[in-house]
């Protein structure tokens, strides 16, 4: 009977171990993009809780048309025994891009220090792999050289921002190959990053608090993001 008051200790210890494991579990993000000829493929994958939760978003089909860009995207959510998949087709036009830009600007204006929260969260992200290899040719040697230099400049700028905002844990692989034999463009990009699942949850909670403090609250975000 003397030990009975302490019967809750094993349960408390197990709870503490479970919470610690969830907090320390890495949230792994893998982003890929590849363009070869007229074929494009984009995929972003999230995996956490030791593989128990897995989400993948991909765009296996992109086609340029006179009115914009036809896109087919696919999402897959795998939660252990639950596996759901959704496909959706759509068209990206300049009008839809401008609408999303305006919505993003409105959210930034009306949410308290959203960029500060983003920078703080990114400072917790560890980049484990960064590979970006491209080849470009314009059919003209001078223009090919200029295009190669421009792409190098863009990649160098992005890499500099990456090293400032995140924890770069790898030696990046970045190349730009000029193709003087003809016109064409190919590129392949791979980024693998991770953040502690606990930090991701904390960032989500902080965002939720700031959304609620915004005039209009969460409903305002919904109206901005999902209105027609």
Burial of 43 (0-12, 13-18, 19+ CB in 10 A): middle
- For residue 164, is pLDDT > 50? yes
- For residue 74, is pLDDT > 60? no
- For residue 217, is pLDDT > 50? yes
Nearest one of 48, 51, 92 to 68, comparing CA atoms: 92
Burial of 74 (0-12, 13-18, 19+ CB in 10 A): middle
Residue-level pLDDT at 81: 43
221 vs 206: which has the higher pLDDT: 206
Is residue 131 situated within a structural domain?
A: yes
Residue-level pLDDT at 107: 73
Is residue 2 situated within a structural domain?
A: no
Q: What is the mean pLDDT of the chain?
A: 80
- For residue 179, is pLDDT > 70? yes
* Count of structural domains within the chain: 1
Is residue 64 situated within a structural domain?
A: yes
Is residue 8 situated within a structural domain?
A: no
Which range marks the domain in which residue 60 is found?
26-226
CA angle 104, 57, 88 (to 5 degrees): 85
77 vs 57: which has the higher pLDDT: 57
Is residue 57 situated within a structural domain?
A: yes
CB 201 within 8 A of CB 32: no
Is residue 87 situated within a structural domain?
A: yes
228 confidence band (pLDDT: 50, 70, 90): very low
CA atoms of 142 and 187, how far apart (whole Å): 21
Is residue 12 situated within a structural domain?
A: no
Is residue 197 situated within a structural domain?
A: yes
Q: What tens digit of pLDDT does each residue of 87-144 get? A: 555 555 667 667 777 777 777 777 778 889 999 999 999 999 999 999 999 989 999 9
**0.85 surpassed by pTM:** no
């Amino acid at each position: 009977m003397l030990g009975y008051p302490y019967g809750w200790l094993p349960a408390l210890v197990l709870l503490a171990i479970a919470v610690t494991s969830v907090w320390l579990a890495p949230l792994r993000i893998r982003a890929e993009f590849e363009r070869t000829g007229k074929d494009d493929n984009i995929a972003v994958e999230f995996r956490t809780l030791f593989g128990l939760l897995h989400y993948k978003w991909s765009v296996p089909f992109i086609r340029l048309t006179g009115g914009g860009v036809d896109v087919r995207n696919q999402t897959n959510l795998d939660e252990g025994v639950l596996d759901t998949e959704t496909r959706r087709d759509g068209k990206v036009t300049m009008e839809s891009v401008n609408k999303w830009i305006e919505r993003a600007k409105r959210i930034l204006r009306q949410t308290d220090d959203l960029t500060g929260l983003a920078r703080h969260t990114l400072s917790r992200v560890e980049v484990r792999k960064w590979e970006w290899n491209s080849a470009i040719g314009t059919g003209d040697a001078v223009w090919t050289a200029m295009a190669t230099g421009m792409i190098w400049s863009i990649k160098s700028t992005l890499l500099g921002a990456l090293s400032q905002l995140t924890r770069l844990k790898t030696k990046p692989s970045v190349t730009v190959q000029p193709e003087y034999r003809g016109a064409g463009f190919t590129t392949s990009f791979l980024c693998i990053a991770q953040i502690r699942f606990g930090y991701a949850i904390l960032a989500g909670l902080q965002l939720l608090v700031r959304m609620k403090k915004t005039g209009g609250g969460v409903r305002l975000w919904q109206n901005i993001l999902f209105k027609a």
